[in-house]
Structure 1
Amino acid sequence: MMKRLPLLLASLLLTTACSAGSDATAPAAAAAPWVEGTHYFRIDPAQPLGRDGKVEVVEVFSYACPHCAHFAPYVDRLVAGLPKGVEFRMIPATFSPMWEPYARAFYAADALGLAQASHDAVFQAIWQAQSIPPQGATLDNFASFYAGRYMVAPQRFLEIAQSAQTDARLIADVKREQAWGIDGTPSIVVDGKYRADAGSAGGSFDKLVELTQWLVQRELDSKKRGN
């Protein structure tokens, strides 16, 4: 897991860091497969983003994080299997100024309606083809990528990436990630209530997918009961 570095965005002025027995004869008392405080952590107070009562799964990631690139195929599998009424979102992490262009590139792609379509391709460009630098990338690097691959005018891409709207999204998401207690990528947040990562889930991305599915079903069941 990529651990966070000190956050130096001066505009934010925020301080952060860059992680019983059961009765076999009583099924209702059987131990849950996942333990709060060990495999996942409660966010208190809960800060959900979902609307209309829908459960929301959020991946906090960075294109600058190689572990996020490795996790991408697992995310595709997770999203494909989410039940009806569950929404998925991605939020880029900005743990240091060096990560800021990677986050702004995502926001620009999102504003252009290309975030989903280009997500895996961006990881490939960075970590396989290295047509975008894995470290120290600039917005010009991303503008060239989107121009060549998606026919987006470079100046248009740069305008969006550096716009006031993107500034606002970046600042809001940094504050949200801090409130959630995110300290590394990739991390998963379910309904603004629970957070987990591969380390807490058992040391593998398969386990993190299983845990996320379990938390999602738990929240769906809770909403049905009106809790």
Structure 2
Amino acid sequence: MNRRDFSLAATAAGLAPWLAAPAAHAQQAAFKAGADYLVLSRPAPVDAPAGKVEVVEFFSYNCPHCAEFEPMLEAWIPKLPPQAAFRRVPVPFVGNDVATKQRLYYTLEAMGKVDAYQAKIFQIIHKDRQPLNGDAAVLEWAAKQPDLGTKFAEVFKSFTVASKVKRATQLTDDYKVSGVPAMGVAGRWYVDGETARSMPRVLQVVEFLVGEAPKA
């Protein structure tokens, strides 16, 4: 797979049919390592509280597949079991301004604005077709948002955000992310649309792995 031109499956049907079907619970499905998900050769670091199973979504604002997946993901997150700790990680590929998009996400996270803007940014880029490329364009856009304003630029340029971008890039490498959207579980397992063969099935596999994590 080409990380910069990721296709979720080798089917002419494309992504839309997968997104049309709601993600069901795994219902004790016998998902298999190497067939439905991959086992990391070396565990990746996790950032979840003790007793929690970390679930990571790897994504890019520039990725049209991620934009299509977002509504399904947002509907699924509240249904995760209590032991799951979910977080997003913006990847260092897809497009020519990847560092900008990574900083955009972590600035919103630092300001507590991800829930308010995650779907909106996908809408702006992929449906409204508004250019939001590069630092200048992002800062200009943010300055026009009443609840972001000048504070956004300060956080966007901060050492804290730069550090999070660096860690995100490292985690993407640790999980050997080959395309997005993709999911990581417990620092041990990786699943994407190719391994699971559909995005609803990705979510089913993740649910299964969250249940398996305490046993492993």
Q: Deviations over 1:56-99 (max 9, x none)?
A: 11001000111100110121122021011211100100127521
Partner of 2:180: 185
TM, length-normalised to structure 1: 0.77
1:209 matched to 2:203: yes
SS of the equivalent of 1:59 reads strand
Amino acid at match of 1:52: A
Q: Which runs of 5+ in 2 are unaligned?
A: 5-27
Paired amino acid for 2:108? A
Paired residue type of 2:207 = Q
From 132, 135, 155, the counterpart of 1:160 = 155
Q: Which has the higher contact order (CA 8 A, sep 6+)?
A: 2
Q: How does 1:12-31 map onto structure 2 within 5 Å?
A: none
Residue 39 (structure 1) aligns with: 36
Which consecutive aligned stretches of 4+ in structure 1 deviate over 6 angstroms post-superposition? Answer: none
2: CA distance, partners of 1:49 / 1:193: 13
- TM value normalised by structure 2: 0.81
Q: CA deviation at 1:196?
A: 0.6
Q: Structure 2: how far apart are the matches of 1:93 and 1:74?
A: 20
Question: Is 58-67 or 79-88 further displaced after alignment?
Answer: 79-88
Measure, in 2, the Cα distance between the counterparts of 1:184 and 1:165: 26
Point out the structure with max Rg over C-alpha: 1
| 8 Å Cα contact 2:29/2:208 also seen in 1 | no
Partner of 2:189: 194
Contact 2:107–2:155 (8 Å) recurs in 1: yes
Corresponding letter in the other structure for 2:134: T
1:70-81 equivalent positions in 2, closer than 5 A? 70-81=68-79
Give the Cα separation in 1 of the matches to 2:77 and 2:207. 10
Give the aligned length.
Answer: 192
CA deviation profile, 1:173-195 (whole Å, cap 9, x unmatched): 11111011112111100111100
| Map 1:1-227 → 2, pairs under 5 A | 3-5=2-4, 33-47=30-44, 48-95=46-93, 98-133=97-132, 137-154=133-150, 156-202=151-197, 204-220=198-214, 222=215, 227=216
Shift of 1:115: 1.4
Contact 2:58 2:183 in 1 (8 A): yes
| Unaligned 5+ runs, structure 1 | 6-30
Separation of aligned partners in 2, 1:219 and 1:177: 20
Q: Give the SS at the match of 1:177.
A: helix
| Residues 1:150 and 1:72: Cα distance change in structure 2 (over 3 Å) | farther
Query: For 2:138 and 2:129, how far apart are their aligned partners in 1?
Result: 12
